[in-house]
């Protein structure tokens, strides 16, 4: 069964460094998402992406964040200058579109900012 994959599973970085989290959505999916879960808190929506542009973003998704679909398979989340409070589990999700609203999630990347 096709699944969403994410790499790395765990990333440790120093405050102020740039990180790129990578996702490979399910191949025929058209809508892509990033969510995050800070330890002990709810899963929060960050951004949705369709047709090579952001369709919606949350207040969390400020200028330090960017997303890109550099080729036909990868979907990346970049944090330019990480802060301690960016430490969280980051989940990628995708869905087909065409009225089907079920999102399929990857296993997550745990980001630790020191």
Partner 1 sequence: AQSVTQLDSHVSVSEGTPVLLRCNYSSSYSPSLFWYVQHPNKGLQLLLKYTSAATLVKGINGFEAEFKKSETSFHLTKPSAHMSDAAEYFCVVSPKAAGNKLTFGGGTRVLVKP
Q: Please report, as ranges, the residues that interact with partner 1 according to CB under 8 A.
A: 3-4, 31, 33, 35, 42-45, 48, 55-56, 58, 91, 93, 95, 101-108
Nearer to partner 1, 106 or 113 (CB): 106
Rounded Cα distance between 42 and 110, Å, is 15
**Measured from the CB of residue 37, what is the shortest distance to partner 1 in angstroms?**
8
**Measured from the CB of residue 2, what is the shortest distance to partner 1 in angstroms?**
13
Rounded Cα distance between 21 and 87, Å, is 13
CA-CA distances (angstroms) from residue 93 to 5, 23, 37?
9, 9, 13
């Amino acid at each position: 069964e096709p699944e969403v994959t994410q790499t790395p599973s765990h990333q440790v970085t120093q405050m102020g460094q740039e990180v790129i989290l990578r996702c490979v959505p399910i191949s025929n999916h058209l809508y892509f998402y990033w969510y995050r879960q800070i330890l002990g808190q709810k899963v929060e929506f960050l951004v949705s992406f369709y047709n090579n542009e952001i369709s919606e973003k949350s207040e969390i998704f400020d200028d330090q964040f960017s997303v890109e679909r550099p080729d036909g398979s990868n979907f990346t989340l970049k944090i330019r200058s990480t802060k301690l409070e960016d430490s969280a589990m980051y989940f990628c999700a995708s869905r087909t579109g065409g009225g089907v609203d079920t999102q399929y999630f990857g296993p997550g990347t745990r980001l630790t900012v020191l």
